[in-house]
Structure 1
Amino acid sequence: MAHIPSPHPVATASQHAQELAALELVQHPVVKAAHTEVAETWLSRAKASPAMRERFEAAFEEVMFSAAMWSSNQDPLHPRVTCITRLAHPVEGRSVPGSRWGIDNPDTVYRVVPISGSERYELRGRVGEGRMTENYFTLWNQHMGTVDVLDGRRMHVEPDGSFVVTIDSDPAGDRPNHIRSDDTAHELYVRDVLLDWGRDDPNSFEVHRLGPPPSRGRWSLDEQAERTAAMMAHFADFTGKLSYGTYKLPPNHFSLAWSADHTGAMRSQVYVAGRFLLEPGQAFVIDVSDGGAEYFTVPLSNIWGTTLEIVDRTGSLNKAQSQANADGTWTYVLSPEDPGVHNWLDTDGLGEGILTLRMAEFPEGGPRPDLAATGRVVDLADLDREVPHLRRVSSAERAEQLAARRASYLRRLPEGSL
């Protein structure tokens, strides 16, 4: 196991203990039975192409392990901080599966904390040396609707980098970092978005439930197994609906849309959802004008809700990882084959998949009028004519790009990837 700097904001002792416990949980008979049933149901509904069917087993393992991790931290009387959507990694000599699901954002460290509106909590933590462009503490109800939000980028932080976030149903009063809960409060969903993978640092924090000791102990293994089985079915159903909605759209076409405040979408972001479908020898060229957004990302995923290869391939590119055009716009070439340009969205050999472009952190007053995102199919042989302005890269430069990408990603996965 790799040496992990202590304390690490993500690879904590608590996180590792939860991951090892989840490995045992997925062996429970109730969970194993659900695993089989959910797989059969999902496959029968998805009507996947042969190429997507080949990706099912690996993606399904991640989605189901994410359900095990998430469901094992749903008790507001015994809250912990759980990091989800991690890649597969070793812990104490054991292989921990990845936990991506729901068309995740590869730039984001996602953490969840169970919350009850009748309880009081504090998050005590510390910001990293590299403060993030985007960081939100979102209190959800049971349906992923927003109850309250704290903007972590603008929260009060002490000179030593420490912070305290309070969570309860009372007004903030003189508490600077307060999230007000109510009787619908269910969970705190924390997004730490790393624009510059080599510089930005996730926040470190722990949760403390205040007040008298809990009125009961933790759920038994059998009780937990029932909750995990239910969440496995929910995750598959949720992701299936996302993919179905995207696949109802015509291929190789997308349009801008403001996010709605439901199903986990973030307030005030702009999302672009679409799907690509390419013949051999084709590429999808994407032109973006960010409307003044400090942050945007262009990730690719399969229909099972897991992003494509993001460590050793450019299955996603964000604003910091991309080369801008001379006029400040951005152009990407999405293709299974290396087109020899810096802004290559690598489909990992797939001719089809899902694209979800996210934009955030706009100027006060919202996006500029030039906000736009368009795409077109071109032949790879015609790239020099279609996108003559794009920076070309040699094979050696591509190798350097990917080596830097891996090194910067492993800052948040110090255990190493499998």
Structure 2
Amino acid sequence: MTSGLSVTDGAAWRSFCDRLAVVGESILAGDLQDERTRVEGFHHLATQVVTWLAWSAGHHDLEHPAFFRQNDLVSCWGGPNVNQVTRRTRVVPSGRYVIRGRMHACDDLVVTVKGGDMHMDRYDVLAELMASDVGIGRDDEVEIFLGGAPLGDGVPWLPLPSGSSMLNIREYYWTWTAEEPAVMTVHRLDTVGISPEALTGADVAEMLDEAATIVEQSMRYWAEWMETQRDQVGVNSMGAPYPSDGGSSFIRYGFGFYELQEDEVFLIESEIAECAYWDIQLYTPMWFESPDFANRVTSLNHTQAHLSSDGRFRAVVAHSDPGVPNWLDTSGRPSGMVTYRWIRGLDAPAARGRVISLAELADHLPVDTPTVTPAKRADEIAVRQEHVAWRYRT
């Protein structure tokens, strides 16, 4: 920690830049990385700097919170769900807050109070609420209170237990339509009307120190986390779903990893859970980013996926379009990660995966599997592009 350094003589800024340079050198240290992984590693580092500098420098004020959007088209880390928009703000246990807004095309919303981020070794989920559980749905007005005493029956409210430091919201978009996305604001009720103090040199030094620390931790933690998962699950295999420490209590997560030659595919099969929502998506090796989900089919959810006539879900991870439903596009990466989620499920079936040759794919699919023409695939991508443009319009 270097927050004691001075800003006015440049020491705090030089320290910040020096620490980022060390992180960059760590990308070059990996013996097993190919050129593309290193290129994407430096791009990931650049976007991590953008993300955490914006968070630390722009959202440090505990008395005047505002939502910070994370894991969007620029900020991407920790295996984000591409069916959601995630926002965060800082909170304190003694504060009282209200989230207000309108759902518009948002299908559901999860509000979570946390002690911090997994990559900062904080796994505690302290309170959680799903909008659909309190009667809030698509196009509805939103008003959810946090902290202080409950406001009575029928008023959505969450406590802020000791250790609360962060409020997260997940806006879920399962129907990828070109419509107005949710609008959400947050206010701290016990500081309304109070103006903030002027920034001090110590404030800025602390911001720079925090941003550098989070970049260092995030780059290290998620690469190690993916390596651990890969060792546990194995390559060209899918693991059983489980509740993840630090993740939502409503979700069961399953992970898999693939390594494919040009003429191979990774065929994934699963029964469908009895659940509210589900999805499956790809992630980049090492950096745990979501690939380009607007311009390629790198994810599917329960509204987009095709189920076979036997009721099972089958996805085909492949480098080129196999001409069947549920293609997950590797974007040319020879290896990667797969994550599937059962959300609010009564059960959590385990998916299975195996590598087969592209030429033999038809022999492993039901005979009535439909054909997806290039024109239909282009239409599928066009729907994604239009929705994502609306979702991240600002």
Where does residue 288 of structure 1 map in the other structure?
A: 270
Counterpart Cα distance in 1 of 2:137 and 2:280: 34
CA contact (8 A) 2:282 2:338 kept: yes
Residue from 32, 55, 61 that aligns with 1:70: 55
Unaligned stretches of 5+ in structure 2?
Answer: 1-11, 117-121
Unaligned stretches of 5+ in structure 1?
Answer: 1-26, 88-97
CA contact (8 A) 1:125 1:203 kept: yes
Where does residue 327 of structure 2 map in the other structure?
A: 344
1:86 is the counterpart of 2:86:
no
1:59 is the counterpart of 2:35:
no
User: TM-score normalized by structure 2?
Assistant: 0.86
1:235 is the counterpart of 2:218:
yes
Where does residue 83 of structure 2 map in the other structure?
A: 107
Pick closer, same or farther for the CA change 1:401–1:120 going to 2, 3 Å. Answer: same
Shift of 1:205: 1.7
1:182-217 per-residue CA deviation (whole Å, 9 max, x = no partner) reads 220010111111111116764322111122437855
Where does residue 383 of structure 1 map in the other structure?
A: 361
CA contact (8 A) 2:254 2:350 kept: no
CA contact (8 A) 2:131 2:137 kept: no
CA contact (8 A) 1:101 1:306 kept: yes
Partner AA of 1:386 in structure 2: H
Where does residue 256 of structure 2 map in the other structure?
A: 274
Q: How many residues align?
A: 370
CA contact (8 A) 1:172 1:180 kept: no
Aligned sequence identity (%): 22
Shift of 1:151: 1.1
Shift of 1:37: 1.6
Counterpart Cα distance in 1 of 2:103 and 2:129: 14
Counterpart Cα distance in 1 of 2:188 and 2:364: 58
1:301 is the counterpart of 2:289:
no
Where does residue 7 of structure 2 map in the other structure?
A: none
Counterpart Cα distance in 2 of 1:158 and 1:381: 45
Counterpart Cα distance in 2 of 1:78 and 1:354: 39
Residue from 119, 124, 130 that aligns with 2:95: 119
Counterpart Cα distance in 2 of 1:159 and 1:385: 42
Q: How does 1:179-328 map to 2 (within 5 A)?
A: 179-198=158-177, 202-212=181-191, 213=194, 216-217=197-198, 220-248=203-231, 249-260=233-244, 262-263=245-246, 265-302=247-284, 303-328=286-311
SS of the equivalent of 2:303 reads helix
Counterpart Cα distance in 2 of 1:47 and 1:218: 45
Partner AA of 1:367 in structure 2: D
Pick closer, same or farther for the CA change 1:176–1:43 going to 2, 3 Å. Answer: farther
> Which deviates the most, 250-259 or 109-118?
250-259
Where does residue 407 of structure 1 map in the other structure?
A: 386
Counterpart Cα distance in 2 of 1:45 and 1:71: 29
Shift of 1:300: 0.8
Partner AA of 1:120 in structure 2: R
Pick closer, same or farther for the CA change 1:285–1:187 going to 2, 3 Å. Answer: same
Shift of 1:413: 1.7
Pick closer, same or farther for the CA change 1:159–1:176 going to 2, 3 Å. Answer: farther
Where does residue 165 of structure 1 map in the other structure?
A: 144
